[in-house]
Amino acid sequence: MVRTTVILKNRYFDSVFLMQVAQRIKAQQGISDASALLATPANRQILAAMGYAGLDGAGPGDLALALEGEPAAVAAVAAGPEAWLSRGPAAPGAPREPRSFAEAVAARPDCGVAVISVPGAHAAREARAALEAGLNVFLFSSNVAVEEERALKLEARERGLIVMGPDCGTAFLGGAGIGFANTVRRGPIGLVGSTGTGMQEFSSLVHQAGSGISNGIGTGGRDLADAVGGISTMAGIEALENDPGTKVIAVLAKPPEPAATARLLERLGRCPKPVVLCLLGADIPGAAATIDDAVGLALTAAGLPAPAGGAVDLRERAAAMAAELRPEQRHLRGLFAGGTLCYQAQAIFRKAGLAAHSNAPLRGMTALADPMASRETSFIDLGAELFVEGRPHPMIDATLRRQRLEQEGRDPSVAVVLLDFILGAMASADPVGDLLGAIASVQGARRRMGGRLWLVASVTGTDLDAQGLQAQTRALAEAGVLVLQSGARAAALCRELMLLTARKEVG
Amino acid sequence: MAARLEQLLQGKPVFVNAGVRGFGDSLREAGYEVVYLDWSPPAGGDARMAEILDDLL
């Protein structure tokens, strides 16, 4: 068994393509492991920890190919890395792809939206070029300075366009789900949202309740911050007011600063259509505190029945779960692919007076000194910047979450692991399957220690998603995972269990 | 304002994709037209150099 690192200077590929390259190499006879990563500082550290050398001097513009396996197989790949990096020849007679937005619009004047996911350092430049070419912008890239964001959004407003992002994961425009989006039917509910997974959860629950989404405008996580001023949120609300297909407008955000909240409330107060405001974790009269509540209010406003869901049955289920725990099992570990669901779960715990740690703490929760090491009850957002620099998001690539689950599940103090699974476009082809091995492994480890490790999960998606809501849910249930109808319900079941273990400790 | 955005909400948008090709591929699979940019980092990935070139051009 040998390990070799090949560095290719100044080679840019997107991280999803590189993940596919690594998977193809790994499938070769004689290769036991392969990684293809841009040599960012974080990735160099990860590869070094895996025992790969020869990374000194490589930079974020360089590609690192790390290979492990039989000497002959490794040497064969290392001798001709280019063969693995070819995207295949273009179809004969296919036109050359344009190099700029201006060129694209010149060739296709009916283009309306630029979808931009280039590395952060280049994102503002490309977004500006798209606006100058007359395009609305869906900006998935993050790491754009807040001053740049404001300047781009002002420029868009001048031109009658919108910038959704930076750091925008999801939007629905004219029936098209953009980015990480679930396949939902169209319907009367319009959505403006600053959180991608929040919009996915909201739209999926609306679909599951039999209704649908007219349009969904993503704004990026910082839009409502005072430094940006809610420019895209306001543009989105106005567009939905004028959209004849939208009967109800829902606005979904993490709680902004008080001045921005007041501005938003004032604006929504002038809206001629019924409005639902969901500020996750905020205690504002009339506003929904969870996505489930927001869905219920939106359905009611659209004249449809809201799904039911009481707390009593959760208490009973939690009591039955607690009966199978050992006394030392007192803590929860939440391992989230969706940042908003991580945030919402903390809000649900905080409201019940339960303390927790997090790498992305809600106000009142404690920041983890080391995001790689959980303490007591911890909620980990594995989509946080630290974990995704130069590698795909955990919704696409489950590697980090799998490793983390193996680590947390072996901690004797853990009673329950809370997981979210996000289906839809861009997500892994089998999000549940990616973790089933690790789930079985930690369940087995706990059985050997005595007691039982509970796993509680929610699945965000619909029956129209390629992964299939039913198939994914069934696979979890067959693996002994408790699946609840939503992220909020899954967190609420865990809350009831943790209230019981906390009482046990006091008693 | 935002006339072009409002048109989009009622029509069938056409997209231009720059960066991760999967974003464009998902839209195409869902039946939307997508133009792909042949994008690579300007000035060999040096953002500072790209800014200097932008200022010069």
Specify the DSSP element, H or E, that contains B24.
Answer: helix B21-29
Q: Taking the CB of residue A83, how many other CB atoms lie within 10 A of it?
A: 9
Indicate yes or no: CB of A112 within 8 angstroms of CB of B39: no
> Is it the case that residue B2 has pLDDT exceeding 50?
no
For chain B, say whether A174 makes contact (Cβ under 8 Å).
Answer: yes
Indicate yes or no: CB of A130 within 8 angstroms of CB of B39: no
Contacts of B22 in chain A (CB under 8 A): 14, 16, 426
- Res A386: pLDDT: 82
- Asked, as a colleague might, if the bond just before A307 is cis with ω within 30 of 0, I would say no
For chain A, say whether B1 makes contact (Cβ under 8 Å).
Answer: yes
- Nearest-neighbour CA in chain B from A91: distance (Å): 14
Pairs of residues, one from chain A and one from chain B, whose beta carbons lie less than 8 Å apart: 171
- Res B1: pLDDT: 34
- Res A196: pLDDT: 92
**Of B9, B24, B44, which has the smallest distance from its Cβ to A243's Cβ?**
B9
For chain B, say whether A104 makes contact (Cβ under 8 Å).
Answer: yes
Q: Taking the CB of residue A164, how many other CB atoms lie within 10 A of it?
A: 34
Indicate yes or no: CB of B54 within 8 angstroms of CB of A235: no
- Res B23: pLDDT: 94
For chain B, say whether A110 makes contact (Cβ under 8 Å).
Answer: yes
CA dist., res. A293 & res. A158, Å (int)? 36
For chain B, say whether A182 makes contact (Cβ under 8 Å).
Answer: no
**Of B10, B26, B38, which has the smallest distance from its Cβ to A97's Cβ?**
B38
CA dist., res. A340 & res. A167, Å (int)? 13
For chain A, say whether B26 makes contact (Cβ under 8 Å).
Answer: yes
> Is it the case that residue B3 has pLDDT exceeding 60?
no
- pLDDT block averages, 10 residues each, chain A of length 507: 89 80 88 88 82 85 90 90 76 78 94 93 95 96 93 96 95 96 97 96 97 97 93 96 97 86 92 95 85 96 81 88 95 96 96 96 94 95 84 89 95 97 96 98 96 97 97 98 97 97 64
**Of B5, B21, B36, which has the smallest distance from its Cβ to A161's Cβ?**
B5
Q: List the single residue in B with minimal CA-CA distance to A96.
A: B38
Contact (Cβ atoms closer than 8 angstroms) between residue A215 and residue A172: yes
Q: Taking the CB of residue B56, how many other CB atoms lie within 10 A of it?
A: 6
- Res B55: pLDDT: 54
For chain A, say whether B4 makes contact (Cβ under 8 Å).
Answer: yes
Alpha helices in A50-145 (DSSP H): 71-79, 81-85, 101-107, 120-132
Contacts of B16 in chain A (CB under 8 A): 101, 104-105, 108, 111, 113-115, 130, 135
Specify the DSSP element, H or E, that contains A163.
Answer: strand A163-164
Contact (Cβ atoms closer than 8 angstroms) between residue A15 and residue A392: yes
A residues 49..88 contacting B (CB < 8 A): 60-61
> Which is nearest to A66 in space by CA: A76, A82, A51?
A51
CA dist., res. A306 & res. A300, Å (int)? 6
Contacts of A179 in chain B (CB under 8 A): 23
Indicate yes or no: CB of A176 within 8 angstroms of CB of B15: yes
Helix (H, G, I), strand (E, B) or coil at A179: strand
- Res A90: pLDDT: 59
Indicate yes or no: CB of A122 within 8 angstroms of CB of B47: yes
C-alpha B7 chain-centroid distance:
19
User: Rounded to two decimals, what is the model's pTM?
Assistant: 0.87
- Res B45: pLDDT: 53
- Res B47: pLDDT: 57
Q: Taking the CB of residue A212, how many other CB atoms lie within 10 A of it?
A: 18
- Res A124: pLDDT: 96
Contacts of A119 in chain B (CB under 8 A): 19, 41
Question: Structure tokens of A8?
Answer: 């290719």
Indicate yes or no: CB of B21 within 8 angstroms of CB of A17: yes
Pick from A8, A23, A113 the residue to mutate for testing the B interface (most B CBs within 10 Å).
A113
Contact (Cβ atoms closer than 8 angstroms) between residue A30 and residue A69: yes
Q: List the single residue in A with minimal CA-CA distance to B13.
A: A112
- Nearest-neighbour CA in chain A from B7: distance (Å): 9
Indicate yes or no: CB of A61 within 8 angstroms of CB of B46: yes
For chain B, say whether A390 makes contact (Cβ under 8 Å).
Answer: no
CA dist., res. A26 & res. A65, Å (int)? 12
Complex ipTM: 0.84
